[in-house]
Structure 1
Amino acid sequence: MDDDSTQARWERRIEIPLAVASLVFLASYAVLVLGHGLPAAAREACLATMLAAWAVFGVDYVVRWRLSGQGLRFIPTHWLDTLVLALPLLRPVRIVKAYDAVQRRHGQPRLPLYGRVVVYAGLSVTLIGFAGALAVYQVEHTAPNATILTFGDSVWWACSTLATVGYGDVTPVTPMGRTIAVGLMGCGLALLGAVTGSFSSWLLEVFSREGDERPPGN
C-alpha cells in the first residue's frame, strides 16, 4: 500500500519539478563555463537561473525537514538531499531518483533489481562525469602549468577517473581541481562496485537456477 502521508504526497508532487530544476541547473552551468564569449547579461542570466534552481532545492529541503518531524536526524537519514543542497554539482543525480517516480506515475513495469542497478549507475556516472568535467575545466584551463586545456581534455580525464583507470596524461594541478578529482574517484569506485556486485549476484542466481533444473545424477 502506498504511503499517503503529507510528506509522501509532497515528495511525489515535487520529484519531477526537482528533476527539471536539476537539468536546468546543469544546462545553465554548462553554458556559463563553456560560453567564453558570453555577454555580461547572458552570464548574469545563467547565474540567476542557477540560483533559482538552488532556491527550489532549498525550499524542498526545508519542507521535507518540517514534515518529517525528525529534527536533526533528518540530515543523516536524507543524506542525498543534504549533499545535493550543499554541493550544487550533485543536483543532476536527482534525475536518477525521478526515474522510478515517472514509472510509478504512468503505471509502467519496473525493471528487475539488477537492471535498475545498471540503469541507475549508468545515469549517475554520465551526469556526475559531465558535471565533474565542467567543474574541472572551469578551474583548470587557465591555471599555470595546466594539462587540462580544453573541455575535451576534461571529459577524457573524467572518464578515466570514473573508470578508475587514471592514465595520468592529463591531471588537475589546482587544489580545487584535485578536490573534485577525489570526489570523482570515490563516485567511480562506488558505482563500479555496485555494478560489479549486481552482475556477480545475477550470475550466481543464474548458475544456481541452472543447478536446480539439472536432472538428478547429471
Structure 2
Amino acid sequence: MNEPSAQAHWEQRTQRPLLALAVGFAVAYAVPIVDTTAGHSLTAVCTAVEWVVWATFAVDYLMRLAMSRDRRRFVRTHWMDLCAVVLPILQPLRLLRMVSTLILVGRRARMASQIQLTTYVAGAVIGLLMFGSLAVLSVERDSPHGNIRTLGDAVWWSFTTMTTVGYGDHAPTTGLGRMIAVGLMLSGIALLGVVTANIATWFIARFEKDDVEERRQTLAIEALAEEVRALRAEVAALSGAPAVGLSGAAALSGAEAAALSGAEQ
C-alpha cells in the first residue's frame, strides 16, 4: 500500500487552518465596509489581516510546489493558484486580495475528499453573495450617481445578479462595480450549470441503476424459464418410457390369448 506523499500530507494538515484563516479574512474584509465609523487603526488592522491571510496562502502554494515531485506539471495544473498568488502583487487592491483569496480557498476546498459537491456549491453561493455584496457596496456607496448605499441594497443586488434576474432597481454605476457584476453573473451561471449537471447526473445514475436491475431480473427470468423447459423435457422423457413398456406387454398378452384360443379349437 502506497504511503501518501509529503505534498498530500501537507495539504491534509493545512486544510482546516487555511479555511479558518479564510474566515478571518472574511471578517477583516467586511468590518471596514459594514462599519462606516471604523477608525484608521481598525482599518489598518483589518488590512494587515487581509495581507497576512493572502501571504499564508502564497506560502502554502510555494510549499506545495517545493514538495511536488513534478514541479512543472504542478505549475501547469495549478495555474489558477499561481494567478491568485501573483494577482495582488501586481495591483495591491483590496478587491484583488479578496478575489485571490476566494480562488485559493476554493482550490484547497476542492482537494478535500470529505466535502461533497452540494456542500461546496452551497459554500460557493454564500461566499459569492457575501463578498459580492461587500465588494459592490465598497465601490458604489460613495459614487455620486450610485443607488447601492446600504448592505441590504447590496445583498438584494447580488441575489438578482447571481440569478441573472436583474430587476434593475439597483445597478452599479462605476467601472469596478460593473466588473464585479460581470463576475457575479458568470459565477451564477456556472453554479447553476453545476447544480443542473449534478441533478441530471443523479437522475441518469438512478435510471442506469434501474436498467441494470431490470436487466438482471430479465436474465434471471430467462434462466428460470430455461430450467423449467429442461425439467418439462425430463418429465416427458421419464413418463414416456413406462408407457411404451405397457403397450408392448398388452400386445404380447393379446397374441398369447389368440394362440390359446386356436389351440382349444
Structure with a larger share of its residues in helix: 2
Q: Which residue of structure 1 aligns with residue 199 of structure 2?
A: 199
Whether contact under 8 Å (1:137, 1:154) holds in the other structure is yes
Whether contact under 8 Å (1:68, 1:74) holds in the other structure is yes
Q: 1:58 to 1:123 in 2, by over 3 A?
A: same
Q: Which residue of structure 1 aligns with residue 98 of structure 2?
A: 89
Q: Percent identity?
A: 37
Of structures 1 and 2, the larger Rg is shown by 2
Q: Which residue of structure 2 aligns with residue 118 of structure 1?
A: 118
CA distance in structure 1 between the aligned counterparts of 2:2 and 2:133, rounded to whole angstroms: 39
Q: Which amino acid aligns with 2:199?
A: F
Q: Which residue of structure 1 aligns with residue 19 of structure 2?
A: 19
Q: Which residue of structure 2 aligns with residue 186 of structure 1?
A: 186
Q: Which residue of structure 1 aligns with residue 42 of structure 2?
A: 42
Q: 1:118 to 1:147 in 2, by over 3 A?
A: same
Tell me the SS of whatever aligns to 1:149.
coil
Q: Which amino acid aligns with 1:124?
A: A
Tell me the SS of whatever aligns to 2:164.
coil
CA distance in structure 2 between the aligned counterparts of 1:2 and 1:89, rounded to whole angstroms: 38
TM-score, structure 1 as length reference: 0.82
* Gap runs ≥5 in structure 1: 105-109
Q: Which amino acid aligns with 2:124?
A: S
Tell me the SS of whatever aligns to 1:120.
helix
Whether contact under 8 Å (2:7, 2:68) holds in the other structure is yes
Tell me the SS of whatever aligns to 1:47.
helix
Whether contact under 8 Å (1:23, 1:92) holds in the other structure is no
Whether contact under 8 Å (1:19, 1:95) holds in the other structure is no
Q: Which amino acid aligns with 1:141?
A: R
Q: 1:39-188 counterparts in 2 under 5 A?
A: 39-68=39-68, 70-71=70-71, 73-85=73-85, 86=87, 87-90=96-99, 91-92=101-102, 94=105, 97-98=108-109, 101=112, 110=114, 116-188=116-188
* Gap runs ≥5 in structure 2: 88-95, 219-265
Q: 1:160 to 1:197 in 2, by over 3 A?
A: same
After TM superposition, give the deviation of residue 81 of structure 1 in Å: 2.4
Whether contact under 8 Å (1:22, 1:53) holds in the other structure is yes
After TM superposition, give the deviation of residue 100 of structure 1 in Å: 6.8
Q: Which residue of structure 2 aligns with residue 107 of structure 1?
A: none
Q: Which residue of structure 1 aligns with residue 4 of structure 2?
A: 4
**How many residue pairs align between the two structures?**
206
